[in-house]
Amino acid sequence: MEPSTKLCLGLHTTTPTLGIALGQIIGGELHLLHDRQWSLGKESSTLIHYYLAELFRDRAWQDLVYVAVATGVGSFTGTRVGVVLARTLGQQLQIPVYGIANSEVDAHNPHRSEAANLLHLAHAQWRNHYLPDYTAVLPLYEL
């Protein structure tokens, strides 16, 4: 049974600026509901859970149909936090996780945030029925 509300989550944790985007899929199209960035420095890894809890206070985690995460190259700890969080959500909710390199995110659309670009890049793959398993998402530390 498909969830009545289809949501998707974009996590950009590879820099000192934490980015979280939430989209809703209506008629197959992506509509951005939330797109925020916080300049947190090293606090990103501890505050990301707080911001996600606030974001999902009136939403159901089970409505997520995919997660998109920046895989780096970037901060070792920040990248790891985002990838582990995305993989955990993918595993527990049994949904696809799209790991996307920062170079692809940065080249996509300079007028959108990194987190919003993650959602748009992942949405194109999701619409083409590419459904990667969470285990395929690994952090990039060097090119």
Q: What does each C-alpha distance from 116 to 2, 21, 37 come to in angstroms?
A: 24, 6, 10
Q: For residue 106, which of 68, 72, 75, 82 has the smallest C-alpha distance?
A: 72
What predicted TM-score, i.e. pTM, was given to this entire model?
0.94
The burial of 84, by beta-carbon neighbours within 10 Å (0-12 exposed, 13-18 middle, 19 or more buried), is given as middle
Paired tokens of 63: 């409505």
45: left (phi over 0), alpha (psi -120 to 50) or beta: alpha
Q: Cα 41 to chain center, whole Å?
A: 19
Q: What's the CATH code, domain 6-136?
A: 3.30.420.40
Q: What's the angle, vertex CA 89, arms to CA 88 and CA 92, rounded to 5?
A: 80
Give the DSSP H/E element, type plus range, for residue 77: helix 76-93
Q: What is the pLDDT along the chain (143 residues), one digit of tens a residue?
A: 455 799 999 999 999 999 999 999 999 999 999 999 999 988 888 899 999 999 999 999 999 999 999 999 999 999 999 999 999 999 999 999 999 999 999 999 989 999 999 999 999 999 999 999 999 999 997 65
Q: CA 139, CA 53: separation in Å to the nearest integer? A: 24
